[in-house]
């Protein structure tokens, strides 16, 4: 394979150097510590697993949004001017943009968008008193959540810098919440009351508006996560027996009951990988991971070797786009505290585009054939929306790993 552009010549030369390096197989569990006091939760993780966000109580007993990195530890993101509490729920693919809620000086909750250079930006409301941000697009440009309107009704919103806060409406009832957004910001999911007063999971697009996703035979459903292209939605829905069950929805297959962990009758799906193939959540006080091939597996069993005696992974709230990193909340027996965790499952390896455990010619070819293409997909290894030099280098620098 050869290319006329000078940059490709340099990249292909780097390939020769990379052949001597292999990517080591690694699995690890990191408890993220604290801002000084009890209880903390991790709600989102960057594409490379390097940044985790959530909230923790500090030494003064106030809960604060945090941004964690391995080198810097848990960084307190503060609050809005005059306020004292905050929480983070979403992060961009590169870890640079964090969204959540914070109190202002008037003790009103406000959705925020945080960056290192700009600090915490108040996103306002829809005319009422409070707002809350839950999700953000891969590039950090689109934020979703809920806000009160002038009639003090809670409404799902979609925010952009150019358009401000857009009311996404409802399914006929008074209220709606948005919890997640697709990588490109085009598809929003959450829940809304319908005209009959039932809670229904929804999937929203600008063209189709708010679409109800139904239930598993029961009365209610909630959507909490969406795949990169917006085609797969996950959440919780009631079944005919009145039990809440984790679900995975597609337009073709409808709402699929993902079951429960053995011995339990309830489950909740919170996060999904970019391709929609891996779902994470909670069942019976244990964090789970679901795939079509393996079904629902208890992370406490699969990664028992990483857990000290008595430690438990309770809830898995989010998963990285490639399915490698999982974050959530658990009990750390060593500190005797409920803590946020980062689980590195070790799979897929860095640069392993086709997910077969080996970084080889097939992975290189996939990136080369997709080179220059836009859109979030497996070949976009750094998750910036374009298959480019950075993605090719990711394969080259890890070439031979696992083979």
- Per-residue pLDDT tens digits for 77-107: 999 999 999 999 999 999 999 999 999 999 9
pLDDT at residue 373, rounded to an integer:
95
pLDDT at residue 25, rounded to an integer:
53
Under DSSP, is residue 7 helix (H, G, I), strand (E, B) or coil?
A: helix
> Are 339 and 306 contacting, i.e. CB atoms less than 8 angstroms apart?
no
- Name the β-bridge partners of 217: 239
pLDDT at residue 35, rounded to an integer:
84
Superfamily, domain 27-344: TolB, C-terminal domain (2.120.10.30)
Output 151-160 pairs: Cβ under 8 A, ≥24 positions apart: 152/128, 153/128, 155/126, 156/188, 156/190, 156/192, 156/202, 156/204, 156/210, 157/111, 157/126, 157/131, 158/185, 158/188, 158/204, 159/111, 159/113, 159/123, 159/133, 160/185
Q: Between these two residues, 39 and 110, which has the higher pLDDT value?
A: 110
Q: Which of 200, 270, 264, 210 has the alpha carbon at shortest distance from 238?
A: 200
Tokens coding 50:
């390097």
pLDDT one-digit tens code per residue, 184-214? 999 999 999 999 999 999 999 999 999 999 9
User: Is the predicted pLDDT of residue 1 greater than 70, yes or no?
Assistant: no
pLDDT at residue 296, rounded to an integer:
98
pLDDT one-digit tens code per residue, 255-313? 999 999 999 999 999 999 999 999 999 999 899 999 999 999 999 999 999 998 899 99
pTM score, whole prediction: 0.92
Task: Report domain extents, the chain.
Answer: 10-26+360-403, 27-344
Mean pLDDT of 358-383: 94
pLDDT at residue 118, rounded to an integer:
95
Identify the band that residue 22 occupies on the pLDDT scale cut at 50, 70 and 90: very low
- Average confidence score pLDDT of the chain: 92
d(CA 192, CA 66): 29
d(CA 61, CA 88): 17
d(CA 266, CA 250): 21
């Amino acid at each position: 394979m050869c290319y006329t552009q000078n940059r490709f010549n340099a990249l292909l030369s780097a390939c020769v150097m990379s052949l001597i390096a292999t990517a080591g197989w690694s699995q690890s569990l990191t408890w993220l510590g604290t801002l000084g006091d009890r209880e903390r939760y991790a709600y989102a993780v960057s594409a490379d697993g390097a940044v985790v966000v959530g909230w923790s109580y500090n030494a003064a007993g106030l809960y604060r949004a945090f941004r964690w990195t391995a080198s810097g530890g848990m960084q307190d993101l503060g609050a809005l001017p005059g306020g004292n509490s905050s929480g983070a729920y979403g992060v961009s693919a590169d870890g640079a943009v964090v969204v959540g809620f914070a109190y202002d000086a008037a003790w009103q909750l406000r959705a925020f968008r945080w960056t290192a250079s700009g600090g915490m930006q108040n996103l306002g409301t829809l005319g009422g008193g409070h707002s809350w941000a839950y999700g953000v697009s891969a590039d950090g440009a689109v934020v979703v959540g809920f806000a009160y309107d002038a009639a003090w009704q809670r409404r799902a919103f979609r925010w952009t810098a150019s358009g401000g806060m857009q009311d996404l409406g409802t399914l006929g009832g008074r209220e709606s919440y948005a919890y997640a957004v697709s990588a490109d910001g085009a598809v929003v999911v959450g829940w809304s009351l319908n005209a009959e007063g039932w809670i229904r999971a929804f999937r929203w697009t600008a063209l189709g508006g708010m679409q109800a996703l139904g239930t598993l035979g029961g009365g209610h459903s909630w959507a909490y996560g969406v795949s990169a292209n917006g085609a797969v939605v996950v959440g919780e829905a009631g079944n005919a027996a009145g039990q809440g069950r984790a679900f995975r929805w597609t337009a073709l297959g409808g709402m699929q009951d993902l079951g429960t962990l053995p011995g339990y009758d309830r489950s909740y799906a919170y996060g999904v990988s970019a391709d929609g193939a891996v779902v994470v959540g909670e069942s019976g006080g244990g964090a789970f991971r679901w795939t079509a091939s393996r079904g629902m597996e208890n992370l406490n069993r699969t990664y028992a070797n990483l857990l000290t005696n008595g430690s438990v992974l309770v809830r898995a709230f989010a998963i990285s786009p490639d399915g490698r990193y999982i974050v959530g909340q658990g009990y750390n027996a060593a500190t005797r505290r409920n803590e946020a965790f980062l689980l590195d499952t070790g799979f897929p390896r860095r640069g392993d585009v086709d997910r077969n455990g080996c970084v080889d010619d097939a992975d290189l070819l996939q990136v080369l054939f997709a080179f220059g293409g836009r859109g979030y997909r497996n070949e976009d290894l750094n998750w910036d929306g374009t298959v480019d030099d950075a993605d090719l280098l990711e394969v080259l620098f890890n070439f031979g790993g696992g083979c």
